[in-house]
Structure 1
Amino acid sequence: MSDPFVVVGGDAAGLSAASKCKREDPDREVIVFEKGEWVSYAHCGMPYYVKGEVESLSDMLSLTPAEIEDRGIDLRRNHEVVAVDPDTNTVTVEREGERFQQPYGDLLVATGAHAVSDPIAGADLAGVFTIHSMDAAAALRAFLTPPAAFDPDAFDGAGEFVDWELVEAYAARDPPESAAIVGGGYVGVEMAEAFSAHDLDVHLFQRPERLLPPFGAAPAERVAETLCEHGVTLHLDTEVDELVAGADDTVAGVVVDDERVPVDTAVVGIGIEPNTALVDGAGIELGVESAIAIDDYGRTDRERVYAAGDCAEMRHAVTGEPDWVPLGLTANRAGRAIGQTVAGTPTPVGDIAGTAVVKAFEMECGRTGILDHERAREAGFDPVSETITAGSRSGYYPGGAETTVTLTADRRTGRLLGGSIAGEDRAAIRIDTLATALEGDMTVGELERLDLAYAPPFSPVWDPILTAAKVLNGELA
């Protein structure tokens, strides 16, 4: 065959595209190159695996290599694509030190993102982890397990992919008693819960003055309170100078303002960056946050070259401008659309609203759209926000909890711009109502008039979201 669909990257976006293309066009040759061993795995499940809530690494595999090949996809692991040449419609692939050229008819770059550890000095010490790979998650869980209790069978179903040298090295160590987390985003908050489940003394360091900056003030405050209640020591508005080693070159402390906080392990979770080095020199345009620029169908500015997932930008539903918000659904959805486009049915990749949820022990938080007033003004809006706290269920029905909702709207038009929610009783999933409202360009008045379901076990007559809309709409009147 002369026009294979070549995919670079064997995770969410890449395999969604490959699977959809093969399903729609069974005769098309589809080749997926993955530079490592792991394919089709759940990044977001790693903190829960480290915690022990997810039993096995194999539980986080969406598809095994055998299942992928059963779909008729030519999966080639341990094959690194090192160059793209859109002029000749070829990619250069490296395997065990040897290189070869692979022609393509259509190409999808789905190379994901990588964890950032700079400029944290000492981030390369033993005992320091970035929770962005399955091997790192496996090694950290092994480190947290007493050597006598380490069970290789916990890797059942995924053992062939594991870096056993790394895992066994940490399994032989005495478990840590204290941990530092550098960064108070999703990974930092989730890892605080994971370390606490192993009875570690946990210190979380956050350079900004509050946790989870994209979620806004109210969720940040409630998460901070929850972490403190569970024994996590917060160091907010605090910049880490360096991680320092002990006698065996393993991390032994965190230095802040010339003071040293002793710890036995550390996680650096200060963010990720798109993997775009592959397209350097290929004449492919980069956009927001140096992610690959794409159009409504995932096409780059080079003919028959697409990009999707954490390496690519997307259009924001509120501003209509390109944005970069790397999340799992975004990658899967865009990949599937591109697979359908390549198979002959042009399909938009869709917009994003930055909808996300996170859990800190029993506290759930969700966010969507634009909450930050400065960013809203930069996009041409006149933002106004209101925050309310209301019960999650009818007051007389047991199990309810205080639910805090913040809504932001444009004062001139009344258009909903974003929202956040925090609470202990099914709070996070309520954010989907706001995400749907954003996609529909609804005003706060229209949101207030939504016919949301009511029954005492689920919601008060006025759902907290409706109450927040009612209050904000009054401010806009």
Structure 2
Amino acid sequence: MADPFVIVGGDAAGLSAASKFKREAPDREVVVLERGRWVSYAHCGMPYYVKGEVESLSDLLSLSPAEIVERGIDLRRGHEVTGVDPDAKTVRVRTDSERYDQAYGDLLVATGARAVDGPIDGADLEGAFTMHDMDAAAAVRAFLTPPAEIDPDAVDGEYVDRDRVETYATREPPEAVAVVGGGYVGVEMVEAFEAYDLDVHLLQRPDRLLPPFGETASERVIETLRERGVRVRLGTAVDEIVGDGRAEAVVAGDERIPVDLALIGIGIRPNTGPIEDAGVELGDSGAIAVDDYGRTNREHVYAAGDCAEMCHAVTGEPEWVPLGLTANRAGRAIGATVAGDPTPVGEIAGTAAVKAFETECARTGIVDRDRAREAGFDPVSETITASSRSGYYPGAAETAVTLVADRETERLLGGAIVGTDRAAIRIDTIATALEAGMTVADVERLDLAYAPPFSPVWDPVLVAAKVLNGSLDAP
């Protein structure tokens, strides 16, 4: 069949697009080109697999390759796209045994992002990892498990890099671990490592953890980690990982910290390599620039997921916020559009959640006041602490809520929440308010549910809105 819908990348955005397209246009061909072996897996679940809360690697698969093929999708694993020619409407494909050009009628670039390990020297040593693929997760869990206790069923699936896993499965488990970077992955992996009773060091270059979540969340998470025995070092830049073939220590300035395993979680970058010479425009973030329907500046070429920007709900400007729902939603919309039903990819607010043991954090919109000023707002913020349930009901815990608003318009700009009792899920109220363009007074008047087991009469979000509204009214 001529001119199929070709998708580069077989994970969240790519397979959401392929599945939606095939449902809407069952008679048209869709080809998914994936350079690796793993497809349709949950990146966010890997720390919990390492910890052991997720029993087997295959539990992280949303769809198996066989299930994808059953949907009528031509899935080609081990097929790397090395370039795109929008004029000829072809992509250049490389496999272990051949090179060929694949024609397309419409093209979706869903190449995701890649983990950053530079400028840290020694990131290629054995025992140094980034947590950005399933093989890394399998290898780390094998390394953490005593050889006599390795469960083959936990490292299941025909796609696992068996040689890599077996290399670490034969070693004695590490005793000391360094986690470099205090973002989502760093905090989640600290929790995973602590479960193995290791000596855990967390080294963070900035002066707070989880910077997008605000100061209060950072302080609460640091307190939680230190109570668990984690050695948290802020304002500490790791220069290199050293060792004779294997990681033996991390070096930060004049300090050398002996470790057996180093986990680098200092960020990701959009993977735009395949379109470098295709004349596809990139945004200021370095991710692919798209319009409201995921279209790039080249005709019939779309982009979605961690390689593409999207419009921010608060600023109205393009932003790069790589998150799972963002990728799935945009891919699904593009699949519908290519099938003949034009569907906007929607806006984003950067809504996210993370936990450090019992401490839950969540954020949405603009939390940082300096960033709000850069976006043209006059920010006013308040942070309150309120009970998660009626004070007399068992399980009630302190919940801190930060809200940020624009003084002139009184529009809500963002918020963050931290607590131990169902704190993170409350961020959805704030995210919905942002999408609706509500003012702080609008939020204060929301009719949220009340019953002692679930919330006090004044939910913590309502308390925060009430206090912030008072600040906006003050001269």
- Place the TM-score, normalised by the shorter chain, in its bin: over 0.9
Find the counterpart in structure 2 of residue 95 from structure 1.
Answer: 95
Indicate yes or no: 2:453 matched with 1:457.
yes
Match among 173, 176, 186 for residue 175 of structure 1:
173
Letter in structure 2 aligned against 1:258 = D
Match among 331, 335, 342 for residue 327 of structure 2:
331
> Would you say the 8 A contact 2:451–2:457 is kept in 1?
yes
In structure 2, C-alpha distance between the alignment counterparts of 1:32 and 1:415, rounded to whole Å: 43
Letter in structure 2 aligned against 1:302 = R
> Would you say the 8 A contact 2:177–2:259 is kept in 1?
yes
Find the counterpart in structure 1 of residue 281 from structure 2.
Answer: 285
Find the counterpart in structure 2 of residue 188 from structure 1.
Answer: 186
In structure 2, C-alpha distance between the alignment counterparts of 1:379 and 1:360, rounded to whole Å: 31
> Would you say the 8 A contact 2:16–2:331 is kept in 1?
yes
CA shift, 1:97, in A, is 4.2
Secondary structure, aligned partner of 1:345: coil
Find the counterpart in structure 2 of residue 213 from structure 1.
Answer: 211
Indicate yes or no: 2:57 matched with 1:57.
yes
1:124-273 mapped onto 2 (5 Å cutoff)? 124-156=124-156, 158=157, 160-245=158-243, 247=244, 249-273=245-269
CA shift, 1:11, in A, is 0.2
Letter in structure 1 aligned against 2:112 = G
Normalised by the size of structure 1, how large is the TM-score? 0.99
1:273-352 mapped onto 2 (5 Å cutoff)? 273-352=269-348
Find the counterpart in structure 1 of residue 81 from structure 2.
Answer: 81
Letter in structure 2 aligned against 1:387 = T
CA shift, 1:153, in A, is 2.0
Match among 356, 361, 365 for residue 361 of structure 2:
365
> Would you say the 8 A contact 2:119–2:239 is kept in 1?
no
CA shift, 1:155, in A, is 2.5
In structure 1, C-alpha distance between the alignment counterparts of 2:264 and 2:72, rounded to whole Å: 39
Indicate yes or no: 2:430 matched with 1:434.
yes
How many pairs were matched up?
473
In structure 2, stretches of 5+ residues that fail to align are: none
Normalised by the size of structure 2, how large is the TM-score? 0.99
In structure 1, C-alpha distance between the alignment counterparts of 2:96 and 2:253, rounded to whole Å: 46
> Would you say the 8 A contact 2:336–2:343 is kept in 1?
yes
Secondary structure, aligned partner of 1:54: coil
Find the counterpart in structure 2 of residue 38 from structure 1.
Answer: 38
In structure 1, C-alpha distance between the alignment counterparts of 2:372 and 2:30, rounded to whole Å: 42
Match among 443, 450, 455 for residue 439 of structure 2:
443
In structure 2, C-alpha distance between the alignment counterparts of 1:230 and 1:125, rounded to whole Å: 29
What is the RMSD computed on CA atoms of the aligned residues?
Answer: 0.7
In structure 1, C-alpha distance between the alignment counterparts of 2:163 and 2:105, rounded to whole Å: 39
> Would you say the 8 A contact 1:251–1:264 is kept in 2?
yes
Indicate yes or no: 2:25 matched with 1:21.
no
The CA deviation string for residues 16-68 of structure 1, in whole angstroms up to 9 with x for no partner, is 00000000000010000000100000000000000001000000000000000
The CA deviation string for residues 139-160 of structure 1, in whole angstroms up to 9 with x for no partner, is 000000101111222223x2x1
The percent of aligned pairs where both chains have the same amino acid is 74
In structure 2, C-alpha distance between the alignment counterparts of 1:354 and 1:443, rounded to whole Å: 19
1:67-78 mapped onto 2 (5 Å cutoff)? 67-78=67-78
In structure 2, C-alpha distance between the alignment counterparts of 1:253 and 1:24, rounded to whole Å: 54
CA shift, 1:121, in A, is 1.1
CA shift, 1:96, in A, is 1.2
In structure 2, C-alpha distance between the alignment counterparts of 1:155 and 1:205, rounded to whole Å: 29
Secondary structure, aligned partner of 2:306: helix
CA shift, 1:259, in A, is 1.5
In structure 2, C-alpha distance between the alignment counterparts of 1:317 and 1:297, rounded to whole Å: 15
> Would you say the 8 A contact 1:180–1:267 is kept in 2?
yes
Stretch of structure 1 that moved more, 66-75 or 371-380: 371-380
In structure 1, C-alpha distance between the alignment counterparts of 2:323 and 2:454, rounded to whole Å: 28
In structure 2, C-alpha distance between the alignment counterparts of 1:124 and 1:242, rounded to whole Å: 11
CA shift, 1:124, in A, is 1.0
> Would you say the 8 A contact 1:364–1:424 is kept in 2?
yes
> Would you say the 8 A contact 1:288–1:324 is kept in 2?
no
> Would you say the 8 A contact 1:288–1:313 is kept in 2?
no
In structure 1, C-alpha distance between the alignment counterparts of 2:106 and 2:173, rounded to whole Å: 49
In structure 2, C-alpha distance between the alignment counterparts of 1:385 and 1:119, rounded to whole Å: 36
Secondary structure, aligned partner of 1:336: helix
Letter in structure 2 aligned against 1:346 = P
In structure 1, stretches of 5+ residues that fail to align are: none
Indicate yes or no: 2:111 matched with 1:115.
no
CA shift, 1:14, in A, is 0.1
